[in-house]
Structure 1
Amino acid sequence: MKSWLICVATLLLLPLLALAAYDVCVFQPARLDMRIAIAHAPAADRVPSPGFAAQLQMQTPDLVPYSTRLLMRQVDFSTSRYWGLHYFLWSQLNALHLSDDERLAIIASQGFPAPYGPDLVHASQCAFGEQPDQLDSSDMTALVWLIRDGARQKTCPHA
């Protein structure tokens, strides 16, 4: 009976230990790199305007999937056969460790496609020729659309 309990305990603890090791060795270094990148980003990207945050959360209620993809750019998983497993682990660790404000900062500082990107300040200047805090609600909606659906234009309209 005692050996059976040890076997069950081992089977239950082994995945938790593996997740903890993955968290410490892979996720946390990339999270640190992202925090450094956000710290060097313009203020409008570090703390996005309430209008941008509201529009993004209205159109994308769950910020975990998109911010996970942006975080995963820090580590090259392109050659991994287990990309889906990495994405699942990163999604869980993102949900566990990051706040919504951190996810918003990641999206605002890294989430815009070329030629608009990479961040909110460049995207608003490129698309509308104005700073993010000068945009109205419809312009913010257009910026969120750029994040969600990508840019189809090859050049910046207000460059």
Structure 2
Amino acid sequence: MEDAALPATGGPAMRRGGNRVRWALVADRSPLLREGLRLYLETLGWRVVAGGTMDEGLALLARGHLALFDRGTPGPLVPDLIVMGETGPERREACGPWPTAFDRLAAMRGAVRPVLLSIAAANRDLTVRARDRGFEAIHIDMPPLNLEELLLGCVRRIERGEVRG
């Protein structure tokens, strides 16, 4: 879990148009992609936890909850938005052993479920399972992307002078 990130504990994060703190969970095995998504959502005023898997993200939410509970904030931290890319185990095992991450989120949220945004082609079956559990699930069929390799390749081409300027 060394690449996982807990949210900053500075001033209150407010979503534009309201004073309720909004939480997002970003799960992707690529540290570059998940940190980029985390930073972007934070610029929109969201609090974000980012982990390599959904279970890792849920564990970070639980740790964040304990820190906030110590400051007097009741109840579990439950994301309003889940952005899930390539994560590995969740794809193959439908979010892990019983109870699944989706089942645990559903139990924490009650009738209101987080919105799930799936950004990996391999997550189509997870999107269906999430919908079956009452989540609003949006699936974008993106092919696998090695963002780190792509960026590094661009940087190396520029450094070698292989681009016209």
Select the structure with the greater relative contact order (CA < 8 A; seq sep ≥ 6). Answer: 1
Q: Per residue, is there more strand in 1 or in 2?
A: 2
Q: Per residue, is there more helix in 1 or in 2?
A: 1
Which entry has the higher C-alpha Rg, 1 or 2? 1
